[in-house]
């Protein structure tokens, strides 16, 4: 049975290639049909806000890759409630649908459920 991997994405969308390179790990895993989960934590929640304009800073739009996640078989998408609240990000208005909103205690349980974890 394949080992499952949780990727915890903590970077804001354009703080360097971090957010994109974290997502690339997830998409690659999905392409190989591996069980992958993705949790947005801390500044990572800023990847999920609506109405962003990558072109304004001459960057690539991450949201296309984010929207592609289910197509790559990555359906286990999570967002940290505390991180969103601290940053004024409403969890009912995220750019990605079907996300599970988790408390800190839920996150501890979530990490336990996966075989491996990468926090990027």
Partner 1 sequence: MSTLHVLSHSPFGDNRLASCLRVMGAQDALLLCGDATYALQPGSAPFATLQAAGLNLFVLAEDLQARALDTPDWAEAINYSGFVELSIEHDKVNTWL
Partner 2 sequence: MKFAIALFSAAHAPSSRRALLFAQAALAGGHDIVRLFFYQDGVYNACDSVVTPQDEQDLPKQWRTFVSDNQLDGVVCIAAALRRGVLNDEEAQRYQRSAICVQAPWALSGLGQLHDAIQDADRLICFGGA
Residues in the site for partner 2, rule: CB under 8 A?
Answer: 2-3, 5, 17-18, 21, 24-25, 28-29, 31-32, 34, 116-120
Would you count residue 4 as binding partner 1 (CB under 8 A)? no
Would you count residue 41 as binding partner 1 (CB under 8 A)? yes
Distance CA 38, CA 43 (A): 14
- Calculate the alpha carbon distances from 52 to 8, 38, 66, 85, 104 in Å: 21, 20, 13, 19, 27
Would you count residue 119 as binding partner 1 (CB under 8 A)? yes
- What's the distance, Cα to Cα, between the start and end of the chain in Å? 25
107 binds, among partner 2, partner 1, none (CB under 5 to 8 A by kind): partner 1
CB of 90 to partner 2, least distance (A): 30
Would you count residue 59 as binding partner 1 (CB under 8 A)? no
CB of 58 to partner 2, least distance (A): 15
- Angle CA(53)–CA(28)–CA(87) in degrees, nearest 5? 40
């Amino acid at each position: 049975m394949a080992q499952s991997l949780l990727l915890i994405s903590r970077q804001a969308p354009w703080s360097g290639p971090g957010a994109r390179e974290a997502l690339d790990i997830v998409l690659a895993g999905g392409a190989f049909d591996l069980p992958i989960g993705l949790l947005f934590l801390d500044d990572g929640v800023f990847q999920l806000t609506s109405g962003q304009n990558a072109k304004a800073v001459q960057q690539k739009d991450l949201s296309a890759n984010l929207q592609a996640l289910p197509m790559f078989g990555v359906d286990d998408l999570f967002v940290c409630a505390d991180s969103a609240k601290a940053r004024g990000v409403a969890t009912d208005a995220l750019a990605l649908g079907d996300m599970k909103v988790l408390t800190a205690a839920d996150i501890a349980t979530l990490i336990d459920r996966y075989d491996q974890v990468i926090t990027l």
